[in-house]
Amino acid sequence: MKRLQPNVSGFTLSDDQILQTIADCRRESKYLLDPHGAIGYATLKQHCQPGQRGVFLETAHPIKFAPTMVKALGQELHMPDFAAGLMSREKVSEKIGKGYEEFRDFLSR
């Protein structure tokens, strides 16, 4: 952990900055970021030094954030076939405590 900490840092964007990053990236490169990816993308743009390369990973399709994408782009996104069924499902979540034991017990069910 001590060797890792000097090489890790946090970065945040406001909601407005996320929307602007999504719009700018789409306009500049035609790539469609999701809101979480927008933070990684903006981090690389702001913090990579000349000659450095960076990687950001996204785990969600932008359609998962449809209302946010409309705000960012000013238009509806096409609903991919694979997502249509998923988006119509009822969202189910369960609140758990912050402690490790509660998390462990939740995963052990």
Question: pLDDT tens digits for 6-52?
Answer: 888 888 999 999 999 999 999 999 999 999 999 999 999 999 999 98
Residue reference for tokens 């927008």 = 38
The two tokens of residue 33 are 């970021």
Q: What is this structure's pTM?
A: 0.74
Round to whole Å and give the CA distance between 90 and 104: 25
The pLDDT of residue 50 is: 92
Where does 5-108 sit in CATH, by number?
3.40.50.1100
Query: Residue 67: enclosing H or E segment and its boundaries?
Result: helix 66-73
Question: What backbone phi and psi angles, to 5 degrees, belong to 26?
Answer: -60, -45
101 three-state secondary structure: helix
Round to whole Å and give the CA distance between 33 and 40: 10
The pLDDT of residue 85 is: 83
